[in-house]
Amino acid sequence: MAPDDRGHFGKYGGSFIAETLMEPVLELQEAYDRYRLDNEFRAEFEWELKNFVGRPNPLYHAKRWSDDCGGAQIYLKREDLNHTGAHKINNTVGQILLARRMGKKRIIAETGAGQHGVATATVCARYGLECIVYMGEEDIHRQAPNVFRMKLLGATVVPVTSGSKTLKDALNEAMRDWVGHVDDTFYIIGTAAGPHPYPTMVRDFNSVIGREIREQSVEHTGRLPDAIIACVGGGSNAIGSFHPFLDDSEVALYGVEAGGDGVDTGRHAAPLTAGKPGVLHGNRTYLMEDEAGQIIETHSVSAGLDYPGVGPEHAWLKDIGRVNYTAITDTEALASCHKVTRTEGIIPALESAHALAYAEKLAPTLTADKNIVVTLSGRGDKDINTLAELEGITL
């Protein structure tokens, strides 16, 4: 089973990093290999998930919305009910426990929508560690409430003004910080990408989502779901949802990318749907790039999906055909966001709304005895400014 011992998922993944980062990355690999199997570490992680994060969160039967869609029954995996409002905390809890065992005092992170930044600032506050979050200047404007949340939690938010001033540039800047502070710094990457062991480690910490879906699906319906749908930016909530089901061929898996203005317009953030393999941010994977190999700007209404790459395991799962990847446009995601809000009383994050929109397409093609699980990766509170702005309202 993938990856190999150097983090390759088929031809994807690996460790494409500058020499100065080789030592800290190898040190991290060693630490993770040791603690992933350590009973005390695992017990502490489980305890934190239960008592600090609030797991398990429910698998909720969205009955009214299912009836509206007509066809399969849709269940929502409520990651939005976690502490800090998204799945991101699963991973930051895991990485901070590792950082503490490695004796690192200074934590850095990148963030796009701000959810990972908040989740990192939260665990740093919990353990009294210094926290520096890199965030694109563009995103700082789009996600002002999360910026303030991070500051409240005691983090330093550093605006990134290079390149396109969004998530990818924040990642570049965090890497540069790490190169300059390798001795005392732990870099908490927020998605299942980056050099080995990040894609595997972030997947493992988020696989609690899929494990709970397994158990809860059996509780609700007596069997595994027929399909699971999750949105894919870097792909951490999706890989966490999918991974425990990879060997269950009867469970169809759907990863939904950000189609922006439409994949055929070129203005989107859907590397698996319309990109090519390349090397960026420490791993080989599908990328949004021009014909000369330069990374191009992405477009999505959802800041959390606005990233030109994707985790390497997704690249591999696409090539071997285990997961179906597709894209949903801004317009479709917004429509589903409103729909689910009005029908179920749940305001989803715009990222998660991409997965919901695909469920609306898939459900009517299936009979009413089929069950679909959608991972509702985060809550939409952070997006109310964006939603209001689209309706011409200033809050």
Partner 1 sequence: MTQRIEACFAKAAADGRKLLIPYVTAGDPSLDVTLALMHQMVTDGADIIELGVPFSDPMADGPVIQAACERALHAGTTLSSILELVERFRQSNADTPIVLMGYMNPVEIMGHEAFAQRASAAGVDGVLIVDLPPEEGGELLDLLKAHGLDTIFLLSPNTPEYRVKKVCDLVSGYVYYVSLKGVTGAATLDTAEVAERVAAIKSLSSVPVAVGFGIRDAESAKAVGSVADAVVVGSAFVTLVGEHGADQASILSTVGGLLASMRQGLDSLKA
Q: Is 300 helix (H, G, I), strand (E, B) or coil?
A: coil
Neighbours of 321 (CB within 10 A): 7
The H helix count followed by the E strand count for the chain is 16, 14
Comparing CB distances to partner 1, the nearer of 247 and 290 is 290
Task: Identify each DSSP E strand in the chain by its residue range.
Answer: 8-9, 12-16, 59-61, 73-78, 106-111, 130-136, 156-160, 185-187, 227-231, 252-260, 276-280, 282-287, 323-329, 371-376
Q: How far is the CB of 24 from partner 1 (least distance, A)?
A: 8
Q: How far is the CB of 46 from partner 1 (least distance, A)?
A: 34
Q: Is 111 exposed, middle or buried (0-12, 13-18, 19+ CB in 10 A)?
A: buried
> From the candidates 48, 77, 88, 300, which is the catalytic residue?
88
Tell me, what DSSP letter sits at residue 378? Answer: B
Residue with tokens 């509206």: 68
Cα of 320 vs its chain's centroid, Å: 21
Q: How far is the CB of 4 from partner 1 (least distance, A)?
A: 12
- Nearest of 163, 192, 198 to residue 178 by alpha carbon: 198
Comparing CB distances to partner 1, the nearer of 11 and 342 is 11
Cα of 63 vs its chain's centroid, Å: 26
Q: How far is the CB of 14 from partner 1 (least distance, A)?
A: 5
Neighbours of 215 (CB within 10 A): 12
Q: How far is the CB of 345 from partner 1 (least distance, A)?
A: 42
Comparing CB distances to partner 1, the nearer of 104 and 339 is 104
Tell me, what DSSP letter sits at residue 340? Answer: H
Q: How far is the CB of 379 from partner 1 (least distance, A)?
A: 31
Comparing CB distances to partner 1, the nearer of 18 and 388 is 18
Q: How far is the CB of 295 from partner 1 (least distance, A)?
A: 4
Angle at 221 between CA 215 and CA 222, to 5 degrees: 70
> From the candidates 15, 217, 241, 377, which is the catalytic residue?
377
In this structure, what are the phi and psi dihedrals at residue 57, rounded to the nearest 5 degrees?
-90, 160
Comparing CB distances to partner 1, the nearer of 176 and 267 is 176
- Does the active-site annotation cover 360? no
- Does the active-site annotation cover 300? no
C-alpha 91/C-alpha 99 separation (Å) is 12
C-alpha 343/C-alpha 359 separation (Å) is 15
- Does the active-site annotation cover 377? yes
Report the interface residues with partner 1, using CB under 8 A. 6, 14-20, 22-24, 162-163, 168-169, 172, 175-176, 179-183, 276-282, 284, 287, 289, 291-296
> From the candidates 110, 173, 289, 360, which is the catalytic residue?
110
- Nearest of 103, 339, 56 to residue 220 by alpha carbon: 56
Catalytically active residues, by annotation: 88, 110, 377
